[in-house]
Structure 1
Amino acid sequence: MAMQDEKSKHSPLIGIDIGGTGIKGGLVDPEKGELIGDRVHVPTPQPSTPEAVAEVVAQVVAKLSARPDASVADSPVGVTFPGIIRHGVVHSAANVDKSWLKTDIDALLTERLGRRVGVINDADAAGLAEARFGAGEGVSGTVLVITLGTGIGSAFIFNGKLVPNAELGHLEIDGFDAETKASAVARERDGLSWEEYSLLLQRYFSHVEFLFSPELFIVGGGISKRADEYLPQLKLRTPIAPAELMNDAGIVGAVVDIAHN
């Protein structure tokens, strides 16, 4: 298996990004961080129980494995999951069925797929991808990748290495969980203008900057496409840049993780 895994590092690997509403997959060149061909996207089953999700993941992997440019049949698969993952076990499940809690997702998917699987938190995967192939490529020291979406996700990268499960969206600021006020969904819910939203982001990023003194902030999530609406209004000592890999970041990061572990 070790020799096979070494060979797989130099051929396309499958990355799967499990989300609350959709499951995406693709073939990735682990040395370039590029998708090969189109992504496969299917709805997340409802209810999103471990067994139902595992079955859909297996279907996506089968489709990708059938492609002419796919890697060997027993190559490892990288998977992201929207929750805290420790030693392959799920410890939070905000956007999927609560039956995931305490599930050994590594063991579940390894058995279902019949090949080695590595599971990583979705924000951590996006952070790895950005640090290696995106806006953080070549940056040493601390890089913080902050995703603004339903909540605030985060990835803590130090000298290119991931410090897993950093939940910086749950920092308490002014008596509130930061993500309840400064997420992209909170902006829409509260009907905030970009200028008003920028004030909340300023408060959040200033606090995180004080705590960690990073070399770089990278902002991801869907509204990173609108970065010119709010990033120029932020006054920070730390450089801040929009994410570059967009919707491919999770898939790419899952492959980066499995290819180098």
Structure 2
Amino acid sequence: MANSVDRAVGIDIGGTGMKAGIVDLANGELVSDRVRIPTPAGAKPKDVLSTVRELLGLLGHDADELQVGICFPTIVKNGRTLSAANVSHKWQDFEAEKFFEEGLGHAIHFVNDADAAGLAELRYGGATDQPGLTVLTTLGTGIGSAFLFDGALVPNTELGHLQWNGDSIEKYAAPTARERDDLSWKDWAARLQEFYDHLEFLFSPDLILVGGGVSKNPEKFMPLISTRAEMRIATHANNAGIIGAASLAL
């Protein structure tokens, strides 16, 4: 594959949907259409790999010679996936990076999905040149998080799995909980308030960024949440995972 670092492909694998695009690495912007396919039921490795191939096919020949970054909703260490909250348990302690490389026939870059979103904000968005601790929270199928401290990523923070009444707090406060429990935006924001209160008590961030799928509707819940730290929508919203995964080519 060509070792081009002006553009790269980013693939964001989520618990609900899988998205991909070609990214201009100079400014962190998509230079292709964003393509999306629902995550296959059960999210087993072979089915996810098949969908990744479909996404690359949808991007066309423009993607053929570019480096590929993939982000994934689990703890990722040394290319292995060490958790499996919103995907098949087959990903638990699985050599995922090697699996994708063998399945696609070339090397890839591989990272946690919220960490990829954090890199997008660090390199091209709301956390650029931000001093102190920025916490990015991605609100989607679950709750992801990225710690960005003085310009560096602290990986695999997993704040969605803070314990809350005996379970992961994302089961209580993620957007999927709003849909599952048929909550109004106000009632769901009250749950989110508990999450952010807990986050601030433990970590005292200087800035909180909000990304993920629900960040396209900030007016429905952001005014209902109060934090000590400044809180604002992430610059790249729901494209941050694609952009951050692609940026690993740098």
DSSP 3-state at the match of 1:259: coil
Q: Does 1:117 align with 2:117?
A: no
Paired with 1:44 and 1:193, the residues of 2 have a C-alpha distance of 26
DSSP 3-state at the match of 2:84: coil
Paired with 1:108 and 1:254, the residues of 2 have a C-alpha distance of 17
Amino acid at match of 1:232: P
DSSP 3-state at the match of 2:179: helix
CA 1:152–1:48 in 2, change beyond 3 Å: closer, same or farther? closer
Give the deviation of 1:200 after TM superposition: 2.5
Q: Does 1:200 align with 2:207?
A: no
Match in the other structure for 1:64: 59
Give the deviation of 1:81 after TM superposition: 1.1
User: Is contact 2:86-2:142 (8 Å) kept?
Assistant: no
User: Is contact 2:10-2:21 (8 Å) kept?
Assistant: yes
User: Is contact 2:126-2:209 (8 Å) kept?
Assistant: yes
Aligned residues: 250
Amino acid at match of 1:118: H
Match in the other structure for 2:156: 165
Match in the other structure for 2:232: 241
Give the deviation of 1:15 after TM superposition: 1.0
Structure 1 stretch displaced more, 15-24 or 113-122: 15-24
CA 1:175–1:47 in 2, change beyond 3 Å: closer, same or farther? closer
Q: Does 1:27 align with 2:22?
A: yes
Report the identity percentage.
46
Equivalent residues in 2 for 1:208-223, closer than 5 Å: 208-223=199-214
Paired with 2:177 and 2:207, the residues of 1 have a C-alpha distance of 24
DSSP 3-state at the match of 1:252: helix
DSSP 3-state at the match of 1:232: helix
Amino acid at match of 1:208: L
**Structure 2: tracts of 5 or more residues without a match:** none
Q: What CA deviation, in whole Å up to 9, does each residue of 1:16-44 have, x standing for no partner?
A: 11223433221111121101121232343
Choose the corresponding residue for 1:149, options 130, 137, 140.
140
Match in the other structure for 2:180: 189
Match in the other structure for 1:129: 120
DSSP 3-state at the match of 2:32: strand
Equivalent residues in 2 for 1:12-51, closer than 5 Å: 12-46=7-41, 48-51=43-46
Match in the other structure for 1:229: 220
Match in the other structure for 1:178: 169
DSSP 3-state at the match of 1:38: coil
Match in the other structure for 2:91: 100
Amino acid at match of 1:35: L
User: Is contact 2:211-2:238 (8 Å) kept?
Assistant: no
CA 1:222–1:39 in 2, change beyond 3 Å: closer, same or farther? closer
Match in the other structure for 2:249: 259
Paired with 1:176 and 1:20, the residues of 2 have a C-alpha distance of 18
Match in the other structure for 2:50: 55
Structure 1 stretch displaced more, 39-48 or 78-87: 39-48
Paired with 1:237 and 1:42, the residues of 2 have a C-alpha distance of 38
Over aligned residues, Cα RMSD in angstroms?
2.3
Give the deviation of 1:96 after TM superposition: 2.5
Largest Rg, 1 or 2 = 1
User: Is contact 2:14-2:141 (8 Å) kept?
Assistant: no
**Structure 1: tracts of 5 or more residues without a match:** none
Q: TM-score, normalised by structure 2?
A: 0.88
Q: TM-score, normalised by structure 1?
A: 0.85
Match in the other structure for 1:84: 75
CA 1:247–1:234 in 2, change beyond 3 Å: closer, same or farther? closer
Give the deviation of 1:47 after TM superposition: 5.1
Give the deviation of 1:228 after TM superposition: 2.3
Give the deviation of 1:55 after TM superposition: 3.2
